[in-house]
Amino acid sequence: MLDLHSISMRRGMLYETIITTVNSDKTPNAAPIGVICKDKDEIVVYLHEGSRTIKNIKNNGTFVVNILKDPLVFVESTMGNLSLEYFLEFNDNYAIQEADAYFLAKVNDLKDIERKDQFGIDKSSIIRADVEEIVKNKDCVEPLNRAMYGVVEALVYLTRKDMVSGETEKLYNLRMKEISRIVNKVGAKEHKEAIKKVMTAWNEGK
């Protein structure tokens, strides 16, 4: 039996995926959504109010998580919707044909919450879901996680530290803080340790 570990999803980490759902007129919908691996067969997603994805999940109680790294699929599903030829039918839902892996998720708990964040009052739903059936299209599946990219970006800025001053330095300071925030949110222990070292070096002598 396949579980989330067999598609390299590690407990506590947040992966950028494409979630596919079924609209009320039975057409498919796709949107990029962060998925947290809670356990080998359970995930958690935080969905902001107002998206089709949350509406469909509330209506249907199931959805499909697609693991892939095609940049155009991310762009098209964010800016509009993917054209129909991308989808295939899967367990009364839709999946993305070219995905490295995909799985059916069945909601086991849904809470609507309101909280204050950096953008104001955020209304969202926290959804816990059981992983029901995993399809693996590749031997080695590597789900997308932003932490490593963040560490690399921060390192590039660090190597330019002595070359910048004034407004550029201020801009770099803001970017470093934001990168550090993201790495700490989505990364594993080693990413957090790495970004801590980079931030210490960045702040040295200030």
Q: Which of 59, 78, 108, 168 binds ligand FMN (CB under 6 A)?
A: 78
Q: Does 51 bind ligand FMN (CB under 6 A)?
A: yes
Return the C-alpha torsion angle 106, 110, 115, 117, nearest 10.
Answer: 0
- Mapped onto helix, strand or coil, the DSSP state of residue 98 is coil
Question: Binding to ligand FMN (CB under 6 A): which residues in 91-150?
Answer: none
CB of 33 to ligand FMN, least distance (A): 4
Given the complex with ligand FMN, which of 175 and 196 has the nearer CB atom? 175
**Is residue 47 part of the contact set for ligand FMN (CB under 6 A)?**
yes
Q: Count Cα atoms within 13 angstroms, Cβ side, for 130.
A: 5
Choosing from 20, 53, 145, 180, the residue that interacts with ligand FMN (CB under 6 A) is: 53
Provide the minimum distance between the beta carbon of 203 and ligand FMN in the complex, in angstroms, as a whole number. 28
Query: What's the CA gap between 150 and 152, in Å, rounded?
Result: 5
Q: How far apart are CA 197 and CA 203, in angstroms?
A: 10
Q: How far apart are CA 160 and CA 49, in angstroms?
A: 40
Measured from the CB atom, is 128 or 161 closer to ligand FMN? 128
12: three-class secondary structure by DSSP: coil
Total residues in contact with ligand FMN, by rule CB under 6 A:
13
The C-alpha atoms of residue 204 and residue 206 are separated, in whole angstroms, by 6
Q: Among 16, 70, 130, 133, which residue sits at the site for ligand FMN (rule: CB under 6 A)?
A: 16
Residues that bind ligand FMN (CB under 6 A): 16, 29, 31-34, 46-48, 51-53, 78
